[in-house]
């Protein structure tokens, strides 16, 4: 009498359940990053813009992130969500098939292929993030979840690690099908997410004539989220009370009687300051002559030369202080604005020697520059700039003040306000949506 064969052991579910949880966490984190990216593109402040070195915004505004968005139609955060949806779907498929007694091998193979894709993507995006010069905390969270997913997929799922003969087809069918469906579902909202250079491109293509209706046409050409950002910024600008300048103008671009008098404070190592300098360089080429008067002031984020900062606020290199003083020393030079733009263009490689080389590459000699930087007069001018900025309750750089009122450094808003001759009640602004209440509540230090 023959013995009955022992039934096969039940397929374990713990690994698939863990993968489902990790995929849900990764998808949730991707949604959060997408939401923060939309906040950034709308001119708001993100929770992970902690400092110059710990700053998701720098990574999201990098050339690599912009190239990914341009080529694939969606930002990196949305690609992370696509990956999370695929991982969730395959883990759920495993559990459903296991409950019904169906073979789980296609789902197992799909989960491991998805895990491998996640590891490769994490390495690529990690290297790209590191090259931007800043650390993105939420990105690190995504990489950690993806690597944990790969470890569980490798060790916690049943069967051979590599698909066997005849198993590739169904594994690719299910994995590819879920990936295509998720990508197509998110493509339209991904394409509608504003790109980092959208506002700058709008400014760069504007006509240099002040034709009737040109401001209204410009505002109507903006995407909905950017229109809302301009509306929010305009409302906050109108809430501010104009304050008189604390010190006389030292160097001005444009005529003294220009209807728009802008003062901007920057730090040489601040990524958003670099963006502001670049967009103002574009505006100077596109704006009708005589509309803008511009002053560049200094607010180095280094306590070695900025007494408004706590003693620990320094990296010890002195780069920021030397760059601020070098710009002050070049204010009387005919090529001042060109030297300043050249300095910010080299931001990623700045150190004290590079600063001196760049700022002495024009009409100011190296010896003149070094003597001026060491002078008490230059330190006095820097202290004036800091005190002037503190009048506006500055919390970071860049700070922009137009006609005595603080203005958010959103390129499309600045351009529109200048085109309106600094009139926040210009009729053209009526095409904008109503400001959001949360934007008005964020204005917590009215003057």
pLDDT digit string (tens) for 87-136?
999 999 999 999 998 999 999 999 999 999 999 999 999 998 888 777 88
Per the DSSP assignment, residues forming a β-bridge with 298 are: 266
Nearest in space to 23 (alpha carbons), one of 117, 131, 104: 117
**Same domain flag for 263 and 338:** yes
In this structure, is residue 93 part of a structural domain?
A: yes
Query: 19-23, 135-139, 387-391: which range is least confident on average?
Result: 135-139
What is the model's pLDDT at position 210? 47
Residue 447 banded pLDDT, cuts 50, 70, 90: very low
**Same domain flag for 166 and 204:** no
**Same domain flag for 140 and 245:** no
What is the model's pLDDT at position 33? 94
**What is the Cα–Cα distance from 337 to 296, expressed in whole angstroms?**
9
**Same domain flag for 289 and 403:** yes
Nearest in space to 110 (alpha carbons), one of 78, 149, 140: 149
Would you say 297 and 377 are in contact if contact means Cβ atoms under 8 Å apart? Answer: no
**Same domain flag for 388 and 339:** yes
Full-model pTM: 0.62
Q: What is the CATH number of the domain that holds 349?
A: 3.40.30.10
**Same domain flag for 247 and 339:** yes
**What is the Cα–Cα distance from 255 to 252, expressed in whole angstroms?**
8
- Could you give the percent of the chain with pLDDT greater than 70? 90
Nearest in space to 219 (alpha carbons), one of 444, 421, 428: 428
In this structure, is residue 4 part of a structural domain?
A: no
Would you say 281 and 414 are in contact if contact means Cβ atoms under 8 Å apart? Answer: no
**Same domain flag for 134 and 206:** no
In this structure, is residue 342 part of a structural domain?
A: yes
Higher-pLDDT residue of 19 and 60 is 19
In this structure, is residue 5 part of a structural domain?
A: no
Would you say 402 and 237 are in contact if contact means Cβ atoms under 8 Å apart? Answer: yes
Residue 202 banded pLDDT, cuts 50, 70, 90: low
**Same domain flag for 242 and 123:** no
User: In 222-270, which ranges are continuous DSSP H helix?
Assistant: 224-239
Q: What is the CATH number of the domain that holds 24?
A: 1.20.1440
In this structure, is residue 9 part of a structural domain?
A: no
Cis peptide before 398 (omega within 30 of 0): yes
**Same domain flag for 171 and 209:** no
**Same domain flag for 233 and 298:** yes
- Could you give the percent of the chain with pLDDT greater than 90? 68
Q: Which residues lie below 8 Å from residue 81, measured CB to CB, with a gap of 6+?
A: 27, 30, 31, 34, 182, 186
**Same domain flag for 188 and 315:** no
What is the model's pLDDT at position 441? 63
C-alpha Rg value of the chain to the nearest Å: 27
Per the DSSP assignment, residues forming a β-bridge with 296 are: 264
Max CA separation in the chain (angstroms): 110
In this structure, is residue 2 part of a structural domain?
A: no
**Same domain flag for 122 and 212:** no
In the chain, the number of structural domains is: 2
What is the model's pLDDT at position 199? 47
Q: Which domain holds residue 180?
A: 14-192
pLDDT by residue (tens digit) across 144-186? Answer: 999 999 999 999 999 898 888 889 999 999 999 999 999 999 9
What is the phi/psi pair of residue 402, to 5°?
Answer: -120, 120
In this structure, is residue 62 part of a structural domain?
A: yes
What is the model's pLDDT at position 55? 77
């Amino acid at each position: 009498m023959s013995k009955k064969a022992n039934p096969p052991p039940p397929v374990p579910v713990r690994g698939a359940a863990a993968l489902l949880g990790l995929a849900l966490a990764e998808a949730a984190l991707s949604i959060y990053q997408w939401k923060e990216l939309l906040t950034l593109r709308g001119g708001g402040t993100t929770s992970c813009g902690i400092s110059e070195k710990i700053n998701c915004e720098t990574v999201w505004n990098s050339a690599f992130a912009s190239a990914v968005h341009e080529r694939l139609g969606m930002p990196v955060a949305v690609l992370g969500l696509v990956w999370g949806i695929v991982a969730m779907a395959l883990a759920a498929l495993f559990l459903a098939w296991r409950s019904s007694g169906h073979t789980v091998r296609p789902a197992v193979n799909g989960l491991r292929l998805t895990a491998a894709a996640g590891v490769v993507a994490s390495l690529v995006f990690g290297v790209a993030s590191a090259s931007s010069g800043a650390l993105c905390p939420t990105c690190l969270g995504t990489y950690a979840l993806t690597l944990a997913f790969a470890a569980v997929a490798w060790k916690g799922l049943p069967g051979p690690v590599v698909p066997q003969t005849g198993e590739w087809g169904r594994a690719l069918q299910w994995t590819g099908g879920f990936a295509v469906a998720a990508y197509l579902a998110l493509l339209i909202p991904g394409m509608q997410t504003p790109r980092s250079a959208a506002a700058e491109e709008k400014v760069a293509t504007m006509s240099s004539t002040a034709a009737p209706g040109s401001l209204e046409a410009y505002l109507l050409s903006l995407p909905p989220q950017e229109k809302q950002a301009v509306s929010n910024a305009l409302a906050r600008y109108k809430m501010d009370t104009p304050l008189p300048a604390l010190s006389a103008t030292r160097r001005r671009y444009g005529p003294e009687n220009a209807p728009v008098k802008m003062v901007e404070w920057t730090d040489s190592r601040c990524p958003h300051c670099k963006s502001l300098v670049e967009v103002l360089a574009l505006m100077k080429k596109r704006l009708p002559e005589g509309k803008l008067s511009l002053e560049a002031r200094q607010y180095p984020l280094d306590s070695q030369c900025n007494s408004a900062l706590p003693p620990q606020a320094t990296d010890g290199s002195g780069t920021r202080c030397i760059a601020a003083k070098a710009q002050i020393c070049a204010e009387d030079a005919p090529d001042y604005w060109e030297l300043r733009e050249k300095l910010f263009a080299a931001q990623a490689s700045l150190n004290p020697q590079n600063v001196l080389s760049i700022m002495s590459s024009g009409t100011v000699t190296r010896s003149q520059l070094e003597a001026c930087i060491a002078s008490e007069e230059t330190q006095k001018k820097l202290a004036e700039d800091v005190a002037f900025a503190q009048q506006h309750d500055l919390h970071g750089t860049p700070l922009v003040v137009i006609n005595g009122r603080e203005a958010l450094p959103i390129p499309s808003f600045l351009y529109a306000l200048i085109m309106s001759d600094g009139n926040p009640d210009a009729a053209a602004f009526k095409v904008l949506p109503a400001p959001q209440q949360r934007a008005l509540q964020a204005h917590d230090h009215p003057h």
